[in-house]
Amino acid sequence: MTQNKSTLDTAQKTLNSTGHSNVVNSRSTSSSSDSSRSDSSRSAVGRCQSDDPQFLLDSIEKVLSNLGRSCLKMTTTLNKTVNNHSIDRSAYWILVYLSENEPIRLSDLALRLGVDISTVSRQVKNLFDAKFISKTNDSVDKRASLLVTTKLGQRYKQEVTEMRKLTIAKAMENWKVSDKEVLLKLLNKLVSELHNECQL
C-alpha cells in the first residue's frame, strides 16, 4: 500500500512537472511566434514603404535637403577659418562658379545663377573688397567688362575646398571603398539629371 502511494505520488509529480514544462514551452513558442509575426510585420511595412513612389520621393527630398544644409553649414564654418578672410556663403559659391566659368559678364553671371542682378552685384562687391576677383576688358565689346578670379581668390577657394575634403573624409572614414564608389556614381547621375531638368 505504501509502495503504491509512493508510485502514485511520483506519477503525480511527473505529470505536474510535464504539464508545467508544456505550459512554459507553449508560452515560449507563442512568444517566439508573436515576435516572428512582429518582425514579419515590420519587414512588410518596410517593403510597402520602399515600394511606394511617393514615400521614396519624400525621403529622397528630405535627405537632399539635409545634405544641402550640412554642406552650407560646413562652408560657412570653414569660410571663417581661412586666411583671416570672411565672405558669406553666397559670395563663396559665386567665387566657385566664377573660377569654373571665367571670364564672364555680371549680367550673364546673374542669368546663369537664376537670380536678380542686384543680388549678384552685392555679392560681387564683397568679393571685390576681399580682392578675390577683378575686372578685365571684354575683347568683343570694349564698353563691357568681364569678371575673373584673382590669384588670392583662387588660393582662398582652393584652401576652403581642401578643408571641405578633409571634413568629408573624416565623416566617411569608416565607409567601404565600394560604398564610396556607389555613392559617387549615383550622385553624379542625380546631379546630371537635375542640371538637365533645371536647365543649369
pLDDT in tens, 115-158: 899 889 988 998 998 899 999 988 877 778 899 999 999 998 89
- Locus of grid cell 537664376: 114
Whole-angstrom CA distances from 156 to 38, 77, 81, 99 are 55, 14, 11, 11
Look at 38-52, 114-128, 155-169, 180-194 and tell me which has the smallest mean pLDDT.
38-52
Region 185-192 average pLDDT:
93
pTM to 2 decimals? 0.63
CA dist., res. 198 & res. 179, Å (int): 28
CA dist., res. 88 & res. 76, Å (int): 7
DSSP conformation class of 102: -
Question: Residue 149 carries which side chain, given as an amino acid letter?
Answer: T
Do 78 and 164 meet the contact criterion of CB atoms below 8 Å apart?
Answer: yes
Do 124 and 106 meet the contact criterion of CB atoms below 8 Å apart?
Answer: yes
